[in-house]
Every structure is written in C-alpha cells, then in structure tokens.
C-alpha cells in the first residue's frame, strides 16, 4: 500500500488528499483556486500603490495596530502586509520586518524603499532571523505580531506543474511542524496583553486551525482567542478562513487573532 502511494504522481495524490478534506466542495473550490486572481491597489499615504489580494489587506488590518505600537512582522517578504502595518503606524512606534530568506529579504527591502514615505523609514528595521527561534532572543517585546507563516499555498501548487508533480502529503506535515514552532516563538515574543495574528494562505486544516488547537494543548493558560468578524469568511473551530469559491475570488487566507494573557 505504502509503495503504491509512493508511486502515484503528485497531482493525483494532491487531488485525492484535498478531495478527502473538502468532499463534494473540492471540484468547485479547485476551480476557484485556478481562476485568475484579482489583486487590489493599496496606497493609503504610500509613495505608490502596491497590488495585493484583498484578503491579505483584511487580515493585516485585523491585527488592529495602534500608533506607537512595537510591531513584529515575523515572515514579511515580499512585503504586502508589512506595508499595511507601516501605514497604520505612520512612522510612530517601531516595525521590525523579518524574513529568513536573503533573496526574498532583498525584495522586501526594495518594496519598503519604493513604497514607504522617507520620513517613516527610521521606524522600520528589516531583519533576517529564523522565526522558529525568536523566543530564545526576545521575550515580551512586542505589542503586536503578525505571523504570516510559510505554508502549502495550494493555489500556487495547482498552477505550477512541477510543484504539483512533486507534491506529497509529507509537505503539509513538515510545514505544520515549522508553523507551530513559529507560533510558540511568537507567544514568547509578544507582551502580556499583546496580540498575534496567525495567518496562512493554506487551505489545509493541519496548517490552520489545528496549529491553534495544538497551542491549546501545550500552552492553554497563556492565551485566549479573540473574536473577529470578516465578511465573506467562514468560521473554523479556531479562527476563520476566506476561500475563493465563496468570497468572490479572495484568498485563500486563514487567520486567527490570539491575545497573550499570562
Ligand atoms: C507567506 S510568505 C510571507 C508573505 C508576506 N507576509 C507578505 O504579505 O508579503 C512566508 C515567508 O516566510 C519566510 N520564511 C520561511 N521560513 C522562515 C523562517 N524560519 N523564519 C523567517 N522567515 C521564514 C519565507 O521566506 C517567506 O517569505
């Protein structure tokens, strides 16, 4: 049986894996994932507009950043959500925009350089740390943390024949381990009373609400889940998800707002 699964092509495995999760919804959702994206222009005091999925804009705003906050964007490249956070701070407080990949960090720097007004730039620092280890170096340091975690990004897999061919169920499992380590690190790094927005563009529950569920089994006394309402999103056991078949093409984007309580 194991060998048979191993021999099956990634595209066949991918389809049967997500069919099992979404059942009769899968063909409709699959089609919506394959449809042309419709990014929107975000400008709000920036030097020029940045085009991003509306779901990303909504999610970054849900972190409810206040002027003067100390904010960490743990996985920030290429930088769409960092621009939203910067526009909420308007040069006050501090924004640390982090990404471990040197190549993607280069893109992040140029996005900040070309979009953020010069007078805001002294309050933004770009760093290249491993988010899974953040809690070892900084504890209770931030009012708000955005953790837009690396994920399966099924929408991208579906449109990339090579990625689809190479897909195996081991991929989401491996990512889920990293995502949980990052979320546990974020919980260390946020101040008591501060907020973390955990988000992914994965549709797999293993990378979404099950990460939050795992945090409950390990650190239930340390945080609470905040109720958030975003139109065109669906409630999950923890957090909400926007899926393109029911949100007029937006997403996918899963998000959950967490408050550290002790
Ligand atoms: C979903 S993307 C972030 C998208 C970004 N928030 C935006 O709105 O443009 C995830 C990012 O996580 C970065 N990443 C992957 N592993 C990481 C790690 N261990 N520490 C920090 N960043 C990591 C990847 O390089 C990638 O740029």
Ranges of residues in the chain with a pLDDT under 50 are 1-3
pLDDT, position 208? 98
E-strand ranges in 53-132 read 70-73, 94-98, 124-127
Predicted pLDDT at 1: 44
Give the mutation target among 72, 84, 101, 115 for probing the ligand 1 site: most ligand atoms within 8 A of CB. Answer: 101
Task: Answer whether the bond into residue 124 is a cis peptide, omega within 30°.
Answer: no
Domain that holds residue 223: 2-260
- Ligand 1 atom with least separation from CA of 81: 8
Report d(CA 245, CA 25) in Å as an integer: 9
Integer Cα distance of 128 and 98 in angstroms: 5
Peptide bond preceding 173 in cis form (omega within 30 of 0): no
Q: What is the number of structural domains in the chain?
A: 1
CATH number assigned to the domain comprising residue 138: 3.40.50.150
Residue of 150, 151, 156, 255 to test ligand 1 pocket, by largest number of atoms within 8 Å of CB: 150
- Segment 170-206, tens digit of pLDDT: 999 999 999 999 999 999 999 999 999 999 999 999 9
* pLDDT given for residue 229 in this prediction: 87
Q: How far is the CA of 215 from the centre of ligand 1 (A)?
A: 20
**Residues in contact with 214: Cβ distance below 8 Å, sequence separation at least 6, in sequence order:** 180
Looking at residue 37, its pLDDT comes to 87
């Amino acid at each position: 049986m194991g060998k048979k699964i191993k021999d099956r092509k990634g595209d066949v495995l991918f389809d049967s894996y997500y069919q099992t999760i979404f059942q009769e919804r899968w063909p409709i959702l699959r089609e919506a994932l394959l449809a042309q994206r419709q990014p929107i222009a975000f400008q709000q005091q920036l030097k020029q507009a940045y085009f991003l999925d509306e779901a990303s804009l909504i999610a970054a705003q849900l972190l409810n950043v206040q002027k003067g906050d100390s904010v960490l964007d743990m996985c920030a490249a290429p930088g769409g959500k960092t621009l939203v956070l910067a526009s909420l701070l308007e040069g006050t407080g501090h924004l640390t925009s982090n990404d471990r990949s040197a190549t993607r960090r280069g893109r992040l720097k140029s996005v900040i350089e070309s979009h953020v007004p010069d007078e805001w730039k002294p309050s933004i620092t770009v760093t290249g740390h491993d988010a899974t280890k953040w809690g070892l170096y900084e504890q209770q340091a931030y009012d708000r943390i955005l953790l837009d975690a690396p994920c399966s990004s099924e929408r991208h897999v579906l449109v990339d024949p090579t990625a689809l061919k190479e897909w195996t169920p081991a991929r989401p499992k491996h990512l889920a381990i990293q995502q949980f380590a990052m979320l546990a690190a974020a919980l260390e790094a946020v101040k008591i009373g501060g907020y973390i927005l955990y988000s992914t563009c994965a549709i797999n529950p293993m990378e979404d609400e099950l990460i939050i569920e795992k945090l409950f089994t390990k650190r239930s006394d340390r945080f609470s889940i905040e109720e958030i309402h975003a139109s065109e999103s669906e409630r999950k056991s923890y957090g909400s998800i926007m899926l393109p078949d029911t949100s007029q093409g937006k997403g996918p984007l899963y998000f959950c707002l967490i408050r550290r309580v002790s």
